[in-house]
Amino acid sequence: EMILLQSEVLELKANPDKLARGTIIETRLDKGQGPVATVLIQEGTLRVGEPFVSGQVFGKVRAMLDDHGEKLKEAGPSHPVEVVGFAGLPEAGDQFIVVSDERKARLAVEHRLEKVKQKEAGTIGKITLETLFDKIKEGEFKELKAVIKADVHGSIEALKKAISDINTKGEIKVNIIHTAVGSITESDIMLASASNAIVIGFNVVPDQKAHALAQTEHVDVRTYTIIYEAIDDIKKAMEGLLSPIQKERVLGRAQVIQLFIVSKVGAIAGSRVLEGKITRGAQARVIRKNEVIHEGKVTSLKRFKEDVREALLGYECGIKLEHFDDLQLEDIIEAYEYEEIAQKLD
């Protein structure tokens, strides 16, 4: 009501007596009709049979449908209509422009595609001294690259929003390198192969050539019909890229009950294992009066002059610590190790 009121107050008007112009609101692939787009006419009058240009796609209006599915022969300003006759799928937000003849439409699209190719050729793989230092300052970062294809533009936007909402804990840069409406094609596979990216299809599948090429190029292609399953798989993939957390795990504790000084070897701690086990090669700390006075490595572990791999609870053993001889009776030697735990995204 406010929009209608404002339009009356501002006396908004459009000229219906000219070639139509409008904006693409939504696009989809129809099994029977091919590429279909919803167009909001902003000026002029659109008629069946007229050639047009929209983004990097041209076509000719074969049919128009209103919001009730009724066929129309023409549509004026402020009318949303479904247009059939696109050579390919435009993107939501593209301008829809009617031209005088089909040849002009074709030439306009070829010119736009050439400009896009030139722009891509000028930017891919190039680095300048100005950007090099920035990349060095950023340090080593990891990327999860993705190509997204879907049946409608709305699904693409929903996927992009959901992916951007995933908490990556600052370690992973999510880079969606290409999105488009339509089935997964050979060009999508080649782009993913060159960029080391995965391909995500929502309510679309790869065509036969794309499927064969994906196998040849070893490109990971995932197709979904439920958006939450897609997001869950992306989370799992990203969790695989996250640096694992190193968590300390105490193996055991032993108390020094006797000291042996061996020439050319140093101090050997005759010890009794109080809990857990002491393992040769494990990290260890020496605790004296509840204070850690040394951290190092168990370089040697003996029982009755024989080298052993581990000493269990209740056993007595001889422990040699790396670069440390200042042991005293009743010192506690605590053995521990680090285990890597895969990070989970929130």
Model pLDDT for residues 63-112, shown as the tens digit of each residue = 999 988 899 999 999 889 999 999 888 888 999 999 998 888 889 888 88
**Is the confidence at residue 10, as pLDDT, over 90?**
no
Strand partners, 80: 40
C-alpha 74/C-alpha 245 separation (Å) is 64
Q: Is the pLDDT of residue 116 over 80?
A: no
Q: In this predicted structure, what is the pLDDT of residue 128?
A: 41
Give the SS3 label for residue 128: coil
Query: In this model, does residue 237 exceed pLDDT 80?
Result: no
pLDDT digits (tens, 9 = 90+) for 144-190: 788 999 989 988 998 888 887 776 655 667 788 899 998 899 999 99
Q: For the chain, how long is the longest CA-to-CA vector?
A: 106
Distance CA 141, CA 81 (A): 46
Could you tell me which residues are beta bridge partners of residue 81? 39
Instruction: Find the mean pLDDT for residues 8-24.
Output: 89
Q: 216: number of CA atoms within 13 Å, CB side?
A: 9
pTM above 0.75, yes or no: no
If you average pLDDT over every residue of the chain, what do you get?
85
Q: Residue 138: what pLDDT?
A: 56
> What DSSP string describes 144-210?
EEEEEEESBHHHHHHHHHHHHTS--TTTEEEEEEEEEES-B-HHHHHHHHHHT-EEEEES--B-HHH
Across 15-56, the runs of DSSP E, i.e. the strands, are 21-30, 34-43, 46-47, 51-54
